[in-house]
Amino acid sequence: MVKKVQDSDRWNSFDRFRDTTRTLVNAYETLGIQTEIHQAQTGGSIGSGRWIIQQAADIKSATMDVASPVRRRVLNYHRNPWHVVQWSAATPPSTNGCKCELTIIDSSKALAALPIGSLLGKMVLTRMDPRNHFAEFANKGAMGVVTDWPVPNHPKDTKWVKFGWGGIPLKCGATHLVGLAISTDQGDMLRSLVAQHRQVIVKVKVDIQKYVGSHDVVSGVVQGQG
């Protein structure tokens, strides 16, 4: 059962969460247990004490490729859903992806030293937790962030990364960043390209549909005697 739930939930996409709902409902009904589904609408009153997911999001696709000085596929959401940071923004739908320079920033001190707008249109490769620097990356003009935040003792694995818990932090509500994640091995490859060629251009295409939706809460109900 855990495997079945993980097969759909791992995509971090609301359309796949509905697959999880069907899995749970079918399991309860097979056992003869009454099922209730509460659809918690996204959004809500701040300070109400309720868990609030600000916005529903369906992830359709996401890719990143090195476009210059070599051509190389770096990531594909359909091969590994962890490649998309939860609550990532999308690239403009009217374009066939965005081409931008890849720049490396691995310390908060280096980030703070940059003037406002100095990252305009760039994709930042960082080993830092992007949640802690989300607003600052955006204020400096970055189009997005790709993190190779390490998974201890597993350099080939991609870390599950979020920009926030129920959504983008409210104080950053107007901020939008494309968020991608790769393994440290992949990050080392990109760092090697930057060291060798100085300028590396990547093509990023992220298709995410955001909307007012709902999140299912599934309960199995065992009736008492009374």
- Per-residue confidence band for 71, with pLDDT thresholds at 50, 70 and 90: very high
Quick check: 50 pLDDT over 80?
no
Inter-residue contact 190 to 125 (CB < 8 Å)? yes
Inter-residue contact 56 to 63 (CB < 8 Å)? no
- Per-residue confidence band for 43, with pLDDT thresholds at 50, 70 and 90: confident
The model's pLDDT over 72-129, given as tens digits with 9 standing for 90+, comes to: 999 999 999 999 999 999 999 877 899 999 999 999 999 999 999 999 999 999 999 9
Q: Domains (ranges, CATH) in the chain?
A: 2-39 (no CATH), 56-211 (3.50.30.30)
For the chain, give the mean pLDDT. 93
Burial class (CB in 10 A: 0-12, 13-18, 19+), 46: exposed
The pTM assigned to this predicted structure is 0.91
Higher pLDDT: 143 or 51? It is: 143
Which of the residue ranges 65-69, 170-174, 179-183 would you say has the lowest mean pLDDT? 170-174
Of all residues in the chain, the percent with pLDDT exceeding 70 is 96
pLDDT for residue 48: 66
Tokens of 109: 């001190």
pLDDT for residue 42: 87
Quick check: 52 pLDDT over 90?
no
The model's pLDDT over 145-161, given as tens digits with 9 standing for 90+, comes to: 999 999 999 999 999 99
